[in-house]
Structure 1
């Protein structure tokens, strides 16, 4: 266990000095394995990790779901979705911020990427909120927080990665994320209501929105149709979650062509962006695989299990401790790296914890519940300083808004997230009811 902790310390140092996380994990994992087994064994392990990751059919969902989201964003469907949500909430104070939250939830349901959701909706929603006099803090806060919904509401790339790491049923993980995702949207809407009530200067007085146009209706219906197509296809047994990525990408292209928003340039940019994002994700997955092999060989998961048994901690106490660890790690690591770094270490513990005689007595249910907790904790990390990846995405799109302003607006939603994860931990049925647990 000692060598594992030393490796973690070295890894964090490398991250702090801005070594890319993929290379940092690969370097520390490879060097640690070499120190324990020799360079020849380490070389074989690294080569095998690269080969197996590259040949992993299940990972093909990553570029396909990202491409699907890019097509919808580039074709203008996301704009129609936002305008449609504005027609619903526009009559309320803070209505545009609420519309942003709702449209982020809708867009993430067919995108699967938090960063893509935040980047897309910042271009769609921010100009409107500025035009109507919204304070930059609540405007950027609603976009950054709404973007986090992309890693929980299915289809979720992070859920797919979790399923691959733990060999869980990806379809069940998708279902488990629906109610917590809806809960997140509701709590974010409440956060906006509370914010504008306590600080009226954050949002203008009530205005009268225009009636829903044909293009707005198309945006809403197209998003809803694509989500239903993917979910019905998976749970109706027409195709697997992995095949759903290909079907969803093809359907997105067809829908974009039908609404007249898919031009050659849009398609090209969608392909290039998907390739770049996928290359980054694959590099991180390979690095995490190398590091995970090292810490597993070093015996860290077994050592943690022994420590839990020695301390006599209950199942819920361990879960709370893990959530706190994620909160701390989220301050220095981005979401995917955090998942890949920690899940291989923590998930074996779940099978050994005692949660009593309820639904969590089934280890598979406990793992699904744990997956939702991990993803929600990861969502929180996306808006937690100093890293807060969604915030830095917004910063790249809106360089004139100071980071301090963005984080000030995010505070309302951060509190809502703490409430949500507390409810999910306290009431596992929120995650397991639709799964049948």
Structure 2
């Protein structure tokens, strides 16, 4: 049996184990270990299993993960997400669909200091959803706006998805963060336009709320100072070359704690729970990375990426068709797997193929993260929709109907990013 066939069978078996709901980290570790044993022998597999995971998670760069996770946990607990919503409500609430538009921009602001989509769903389902229900908003529109907008947490920096992609591919995390800023802003604009069109043709779906005076709008901006300070501190330091990503994460986490304490939004009773949740989330990510390190070694030993690259190069089809197939694969996988697991599963196999086709790795990282983000709300198994349904009690069918217009907006947004790579590459190219 050829090495490439062993690698392909290993990938297929891994998908079977994941479909059987085996824990992602364990499934990748098992396939990696026994795959190496078949190719290089049991002794080599034992040596690799003893050394590779330890060396992998011992990298200094991985210290950035708990820092940004802690930063996100602190700002979530401090109620900063609610303040973002109240500010955006003052500015957009009087428009048709204004409360849903306010939710979109609040999620964008919140994403800029959390880096996770679930945090946005939890906060907005408790803050924005009751407000939209109070003004008789269509339930599907309300749920769709929350589910779709919350996914921006994985695209807008500091994105945990970009951190993991950067570590696994050894690409500058700072440049990846910069690459996500313009696409993130454009995504929020696309969602805003989508909501406006929906409510333009059917005003009953998003009745206008109370109108605020200009003074009230300006005064409400004080609620966003924490977001602006943290974002400028972290992203500005990275952009100017003052901080490394790890240092930026530490400064961001420390800054979030100081802001929460000074503004009296974080009690000492809550802090141990925040640290515990941070530890749990970090441990989950690191265990996944230990599993993927073994799987990555197995894939490398099997020479599967090299064989795939040669196979694709020999096909009489344009590389755009191949790239479209990869994009479709991410949508399908992202429907069934969490974003982080999808990243770790596919990067060892697909990334070398992307490089062999001559695509820019930073641009590809943005597209990949964007597709995984889109998959999180795609029926029939959009994970973020299940999370929102569990928290809010809204029927899953209603949520799926509500996200359809936003998925159409996602397709248009992704098409724009693919057609104009400079939208992702401009800011990284200007970094110091």
When the two structures are superposed, what TM-score results if normalisation uses the length of structure 1? 0.92
Given candidates 297, 307, 324, the residue that maps to 2:328 is 324
Give 1:214 deviation, angstroms.
9.7
Aligned twin of 2:188: 185
Kept after mapping to 1: 8 A contact 2:90/2:217: no
Take 2:362 and 2:37, find their aligned partners in 1: how far apart are those partners? 35
Give 1:8 deviation, angstroms.
2.1
Aligned twin of 2:279: 275
Structure 2 gaps, min length 5? none
* 1:420 maps onto 2:407 in alignment: no
Kept after mapping to 1: 8 A contact 2:94/2:208: no
Give 1:428 deviation, angstroms.
0.8
Q: Please give the per-residue CA displacement for 1:36-79, whole angstroms capped at 9, x wherever unaligned.
A: 22222112222223212331221122121111111112112211
Aligned twin of 1:363: none
Aligned twin of 1:147: 150
Aligned twin of 1:357: none
Aligned twin of 2:45: 42
Kept after mapping to 1: 8 A contact 2:32/2:297: yes
- Equivalenced residues, count: 426
* 1:433 maps onto 2:421 in alignment: no
Aligned twin of 1:85: 88
Aligned twin of 1:380: 374
Take 2:207 and 2:135, find their aligned partners in 1: how far apart are those partners? 7
Give 1:83 deviation, angstroms.
0.2
Runs of 4+ in structure 1 displaced over 6 angstroms? none
* 1:102 maps onto 2:102 in alignment: no
Which moves more between the two structures, 307-316 or 320-329? 307-316
Take 1:273 and 1:132, find their aligned partners in 2: how far apart are those partners? 35
1:37-436 aligned at under 5 Å gives the runs 37-209=40-212, 212=216, 216-354=220-358, 366-398=360-392, 400-436=393-429
Take 1:25 and 1:5, find their aligned partners in 2: how far apart are those partners? 14
Kept after mapping to 2: 8 A contact 1:3/1:298: yes
2:429 match: secondary structure: coil
Supply the RMSD in Å over aligned alpha carbons. Answer: 1.9
Which moves more between the two structures, 11-20 or 181-190? 11-20
Take 2:97 and 2:218, find their aligned partners in 1: how far apart are those partners? 24
Structure 1 gaps, min length 5? 355-359, 361-365
Take 1:100 and 1:321, find their aligned partners in 2: how far apart are those partners? 33
Residues 1:23 and 1:212: Cα distance change in structure 2 (over 3 Å): farther
Take 1:193 and 1:303, find their aligned partners in 2: how far apart are those partners? 48
Kept after mapping to 2: 8 A contact 1:71/1:253: yes
Kept after mapping to 1: 8 A contact 2:18/2:24: yes
Which moves more between the two structures, 6-15 or 413-422? 6-15
Take 1:216 and 1:175, find their aligned partners in 2: how far apart are those partners? 28
Take 1:219 and 1:296, find their aligned partners in 2: how far apart are those partners? 50
Which moves more between the two structures, 191-200 or 91-100? 191-200
Take 2:63 and 2:131, find their aligned partners in 1: how far apart are those partners? 36
Give 1:33 deviation, angstroms.
1.6
Q: Please give the per-residue CA displacement for 1:147-187, whole angstroms capped at 9, x wherever unaligned.
A: 11111111111111111111111111111111111110100
Take 2:219 and 2:362, find their aligned partners in 1: how far apart are those partners? 39
Kept after mapping to 2: 8 A contact 1:288/1:337: no
Take 1:176 and 1:54, find their aligned partners in 2: how far apart are those partners? 25
